A and B are shown apart, each in its own frame.
Chain A
Amino acid sequence: MTQVNVYRPDDFDDFWDSTLKQVAKVPLRPSFEYVEERSTDDVAVYDVHYDSWAGVRISGWYAVPRAAGPHPALMLVPGYISEPVIPRSWAKKGYAAFAVAPRGKLRSNQPYNPGYPGLLVDNIVDPNTYGYRGFYVDAVRAVDAVLTRPEVDPARVGLHGSSQGGALTITTAALMPDVVTCGAAGAPYLCGFMESARLTHSYPYEEINEYLRDHPDHEQRVAQSVGYYDGINFAPNIEAPMLVYIGLEDDVCPPETGFAVHDAMKCEKELLTYERCGHDAGNHWAMEKVEAFLAGHLGVAQ
């Protein structure tokens, strides 16, 4: 199997420490507006907004059991082209569930809107202005926003997502080691960027191949820049238990990169692999294990 070698900048940790310190100066200004039409007898739904990197106002959906808390927080981080779904089904299971729409997604796209395709290569040669800098921070600030809720237990914060959601599970767990309790990452994207683009012609990584068609002399600059954003470089900083699940024939996020990010984790971890599965990452079988993993670590009865 192909070895995935990722360039790790010497100042990787400093870059992200500095990024988080900069955004800490931006007041969060969280707002939670109750949405009657999307709420049910047992779940209350809120339209959420907060400020993030460069002052961009980020949106999300918060769904919480009407039963008295405290509830564990479950952060649901989205895939590349999908919009966050109101997480009512997770709230019914007992979580204070927050589905965030990082910058560029529909309700968070003012003034930043790189488009799809587009986000993956937006300023990709410059780590300081790369679109994913604010995007990763938006997921961190989502945790900050949900922790302003009095019904949320700050000692129980889980992360879950697949594909780009898998990537954000990894980056957020690494950036908030003192806050995150556990994470379940399916088919993690944004791991081994350059090797992935060599291994597949599926989107989103195909955006890098297209970019390099336009700018064939940028390959080294791109490789160095994305080193600051690679999940494999974040993985050693994770302290919370992690569950990773992958399809062994994933054409979107090559399985080689899923093995590599799991290998790079130093935390308590488990890897589930599924034969003949693609970007579904064995979802049909894995979800039962994901739910048990989250429930076990976050103290929710199944």
Chain B
Amino acid sequence: MSAFEGYWDAVDAELAQLPPQPVRDLVPRRCTADFTGYEVRLTSLGPYRIFGYLSVPTGPGPYPAVLTTPRYGSVNNPPHYNDRLRYVTLVIAHRGQRTADSSYAAAYPGLLTDGIADPDRYVYRGIVADCLRAAEYLTALPEVDTSRVAVAGDDLAVLTAARRPLFAALQVAGAPLFRGADQPDADYPAAEFGDHLRAHPQDADAVRRTLALFDPERHAPAVTAAARVEIPGEGGPLSALAEALDAQRYAPTHHGQADNDAADAWLAGRLGAAAMSRFSRMAG
């Protein structure tokens, strides 16, 4: 077994030892005639309690479902209204983000390099586990049609799809988090890697070894979902990732709503739902 496989098998084994102990609380203000909103809490690696916004459409179901992996930042919005109408939706907050910051509060900047010199102490080992736990939870819900589940996000979505082959669709957008160390002139958050290495130049090899474990391109062969990758510009790590995933490539037009609509339509098509634009003067 390679070090790569051993590392991730150990994460799976540790997680399997921890019952998720889910708690699901109704949130009346996020309920309408069309959907019901909840806040959920689950146990992940550590053990550590993580948080999620769950929404379930009204009706007999089962429904297609979408797991949104956390963005890089302290806050994740609850699922969008349009998505709640069509899907069982779960947006989680990983350890350190608001609503999951007891007892660990992430620093921005700082999260991306927290413990990075030791892969067993790197904070993203736990964060990936948080996403895996969320995938297990969502796909076990009775309201979910397990043949129509998608995961959407950045690198974390790729790693989740790779480690849990439960998904029909994988949608990847955003800058590649774990390839930031390859971009010395990048702005934050990727600049965190450069800051760390300026302060701790002796860590260079260790950082490279840790990040290799999280490289989405290395995880891509294990992904079974149909994938779509947004690739701004030619070449670069996202292009290589798309190739490794055998993904549909999407070149953003930079007309943001047009790009959002294209992403929505792809996902809806994969999950057997109707496409919906978030910009509509029919809202009310």
Assembly CA distance A118 to B250 (angstroms): 35
A23: Cβ under 8 A from any B Cβ? no
Interfacial chain A residues near B187, Cβ < 8 Å: 85, 88-89
Q: How far is the CB of B220 from chain A (nearest CB, A)?
A: 28
- The one of B77, B98, B256 that contacts A280, using a Cβ cutoff of 8 Å: B256
A297: Cβ under 8 A from any B Cβ? no
Interfacial chain A residues near B279, Cβ < 8 Å: 249-251, 278
B192 and chain A: residue at smallest CB distance: A38
**Contact between A198 and B284, CB atoms less than 8 A apart:** yes
Interface centre among B32, B78, B188, B191 (most CB of A within 10 A): B188
Contact A201 B283, CB 8 Å, known A81-B73, A251-B257? yes
**Contact between B283 and A37, CB atoms less than 8 A apart:** no
Assembly CA distance A251 to B279 (angstroms): 5
A217: Cβ under 8 A from any B Cβ? no
B80: Cβ under 8 A from any A Cβ? yes
**Contact between A210 and B29, CB atoms less than 8 A apart:** yes
**Contact between B283 and A200, CB atoms less than 8 A apart:** yes
Assembly CA distance A275 to B107 (angstroms): 37
Q: How far is the CB of A200 from chain B (nearest CB, A)?
A: 6
Interface centre among B82, B107, B198, B256 (most CB of A within 10 A): B256
**Contact between B195 and A250, CB atoms less than 8 A apart:** no
Assembly CA distance A77 to B253 (angstroms): 27
Interfacial chain A residues near B28, Cβ < 8 Å: 213-214
A202: Cβ under 8 A from any B Cβ? yes
Interfacial chain A residues near B99, Cβ < 8 Å: 115
Q: How far is the CB of A173 from chain B (nearest CB, A)?
A: 25
A187 and chain B: residue at smallest CB distance: B256
A206: Cβ under 8 A from any B Cβ? yes
Assembly CA distance A181 to B188 (angstroms): 28
Contact A213 B257, CB 8 Å, known A37-B199, A116-B75? no
- The one of B78, B80, B109 that contacts A86, using a Cβ cutoff of 8 Å: B109
A83: Cβ under 8 A from any B Cβ? yes
Interface residues on A, range: 35 or more
**Contact between A284 and B254, CB atoms less than 8 A apart:** yes
B76 and chain A: residue at smallest CB distance: A81
**Contact between B29 and A213, CB atoms less than 8 A apart:** yes
B81: Cβ under 8 A from any A Cβ? yes
Q: How far is the CB of A236 from chain B (nearest CB, A)?
A: 28
A281 and chain B: residue at smallest CB distance: B256
**Contact between A106 and B108, CB atoms less than 8 A apart:** yes
**Contact between A83 and B284, CB atoms less than 8 A apart:** no
- The one of B31, B76, B82, B196 that contacts A201, using a Cβ cutoff of 8 Å: B82
A7: Cβ under 8 A from any B Cβ? no
B260: Cβ under 8 A from any A Cβ? yes
**Contact between A85 and B199, CB atoms less than 8 A apart:** no
**Contact between A115 and B98, CB atoms less than 8 A apart:** yes
Assembly CA distance A145 to B254 (angstroms): 36
- The one of B76, B108, B109, B257 that contacts A38, using a Cβ cutoff of 8 Å: B109
Q: Mark A13-52, 1 if CB is under 8 A from B, else 0.
A: 0000000000000000000000011101000000000000
Q: How far is the CB of A13 from chain B (nearest CB, A)?
A: 33
Assembly CA distance A281 to B78 (angstroms): 22
- The one of B30, B74, B75, B278 that contacts A251, using a Cβ cutoff of 8 Å: B278
Contact A210 B30, CB 8 Å, known A88-B187, A201-B81? yes
Interfacial chain A residues near B29, Cβ < 8 Å: 210-211, 213-214
Assembly CA distance A249 to B77 (angstroms): 20
**Contact between B255 and A274, CB atoms less than 8 A apart:** yes
Q: Mark A210-229, 1 if CB is under 8 A from B, else 0.
A: 11011000000000000000
Q: Which 3 A-B pairs have the closest CB atoms?
A: A280-B256, A201-B81, A278-B257
A-contacting residues of B (Cβ < 8 Å)? 28-32, 73-78, 80-82, 98-99, 105, 107-109, 187-188, 191, 195-196, 198-199, 253-258, 260, 277-281, 283-284
Known: A86-B188, A117-B77, A250-B257. 6 other contacts (CB 8 A): A83-B73, A88-B188, A106-B105, A251-B260, A276-B255, A276-B258
